[in-house]
Amino acid sequence: MTVYLVGAGPGDPGLMTARALELIALADVIIHDRLIPVSALDGARADAQLIYAGKQGGGEQVPQAEITRLLVEHGRVADIVVRLKGGDPFVFGRGGEEAEALVEAGIDFQVVPGVTAGIAASAYAGIPVTHRDLASSVAFLTGHEDPDKPGSALDWAALAAFPGTLVVYMGVRHLQAIAARLIAAGRAADEPAAVVQSGTLPGQRTLVATLATIAARASEARIGAPAIAIFGPVTALHGQLRWLERRPLHGVSVAVTRAREQGSRLAERLQALGAAVILAPVIRTKSLPGPPPDLGSYDLICFTSPTGVEALFERLDAAGLDARAFPGSERTRVAAIGPATARALAARGIRADIVPAQAVGEALAEALAGLPVARALVARAREARDVVPESLRAHGAEVDVVAVYETVVEPLDEQTLEAVAGTDYITFTAASTVRNFLAAAGGAQAWLARGSARPRVVSIGPVTSAELRAQGLSPDIEAQSHDIDGLVDALVSA
- Is 12 within 8 Å of 120 (Cβ atoms)? yes
* Tens-place pLDDT, residues 69-123: 999 999 999 999 999 999 999 999 899 999 999 999 999 999 999 999 999 999 9
User: For the packed helices 260-272 and 484-493, what is the interaxial angle rounded to 10 degrees?
Assistant: 40
Angle at CA of residue 433, ends 430 and 437, nearest 5°: 155
- Based on the fold, state whether residues 70 and 82 are members of the same structural domain: yes
Measured distance CA(146)–CA(249) in Å, rounded: 40
- Based on the fold, state whether residues 147 and 230 are members of the same structural domain: yes
33 catalytic, yes or no?
yes
- Is 273 within 8 Å of 247 (Cβ atoms)? yes
The domain spanning residue 210 has which CATH number? 3.30.950.10
170 catalytic, yes or no?
yes
pLDDT computed for residue 484 by the predictor: 87
* Tens-place pLDDT, residues 369-407: 988 999 999 999 988 889 999 999 999 999 999 999 998
Of 16, 85, 170, 424, which is the active-site residue?
170
Measured distance CA(487)–CA(494) in Å, rounded: 11
Of 33, 88, 299, 483, which is the active-site residue?
33
246-256 burial, b at 16+ Cβ within 10 Å, e below that, comes to ebebbebbbbb
The residue out of 349, 373, 406 marking a domain boundary is: 406
User: For the packed helices 431-440 and 462-470, what is the interaxial angle rounded to 10 degrees?
Assistant: 30
- Based on the fold, state whether residues 275 and 326 are members of the same structural domain: no
- DSSP result, 166-220: EEEES-GGGHHHHHHHHHHTT--TTSEEEEEESTTSTT-EEEEEETTTHHHHHHH
- Based on the fold, state whether residues 375 and 324 are members of the same structural domain: yes
User: For the packed helices 339-347 and 306-318, what is the interaxial angle rounded to 10 degrees?
Assistant: 20
pLDDT computed for residue 149 by the predictor: 56
* Tens-place pLDDT, residues 401-427: 999 999 888 888 888 898 899 899 999
- Is 135 within 8 Å of 232 (Cβ atoms)? yes
Judged against a pLDDT cut of 80, whether residue 453 lies above it is answered with no
* Nearest Cα to Cα of residue 475 among 493, 463, 488, 492: 463
- Based on the fold, state whether residues 418 and 275 are members of the same structural domain: yes
- Based on the fold, state whether residues 100 and 190 are members of the same structural domain: no
**Residue 471: which residues within 8 A CB-CB, separation 6 or more?**
434, 435, 438, 443, 444
* Nearest Cα to Cα of residue 393 among 268, 302, 484, 291: 302
The model's pTM: 0.73
Measured distance CA(13)–CA(201) in Å, rounded: 9
The residue out of 195, 223, 246 marking a domain boundary is: 246
**Phi/psi at 409 (nearest 5 deg)?**
-70, 135
Of 28, 55, 400, 485, which is the active-site residue?
55
- Based on the fold, state whether residues 358 and 422 are members of the same structural domain: no
Q: To which H or E segment does residue 308 belong?
A: helix 306-318
Q: What is the mean pLDDT of the chain?
A: 91
The domain spanning residue 375 has which CATH number? 3.40.50.10090
Measured distance CA(90)–CA(99) in Å, rounded: 10
- Is 341 within 8 Å of 463 (Cβ atoms)? no
Rounded to a whole number of angstroms, the distance between the first and last alpha carbons of the chain is 53
DSSP state, 289? Answer: P
- Based on the fold, state whether residues 138 and 224 are members of the same structural domain: yes
- Based on the fold, state whether residues 387 and 418 are members of the same structural domain: no
Judged against a pLDDT cut of 80, whether residue 59 lies above it is answered with no
Give every strand in the sheet of 300-303, ordered side by side: 283-287, 398-409, 375-381, 300-303, 333-336
* Tens-place pLDDT, residues 112-167: 999 999 999 999 999 999 999 999 999 999 987 654 555 577 899 999 999 999 99
- Based on the fold, state whether residues 105 and 130 are members of the same structural domain: no
DSSP state, 291? Answer: P
* Nearest Cα to Cα of residue 205 among 326, 124, 261, 273: 124
Number of domains the chain is built from: 4
Measured distance CA(396)–CA(393) in Å, rounded: 5
55 catalytic, yes or no?
yes
CB atoms near residue 465 (< 10 Å): 22
- Based on the fold, state whether residues 395 and 457 are members of the same structural domain: no
The domain spanning residue 74 has which CATH number? 3.40.1010.10
Positive or negative, the CA dihedral 175, 180, 181, 185 is positive
Q: Domain residues for 194?
A: 119-246
- Is 398 within 8 Å of 298 (Cβ atoms)? no
* Tens-place pLDDT, residues 216-271: 999 999 999 899 999 999 999 999 999 998 899 988 999 999 877 777 788 888 98
The residue out of 406, 433, 465 marking a domain boundary is: 406
Q: Provide Rg for the chain, Cα atoms.
A: 28
- Based on the fold, state whether residues 392 and 468 are members of the same structural domain: no
DSSP alpha helix (H) spans, 95-155: 95-104, 117-124
CB atoms near residue 92 (< 10 Å): 18
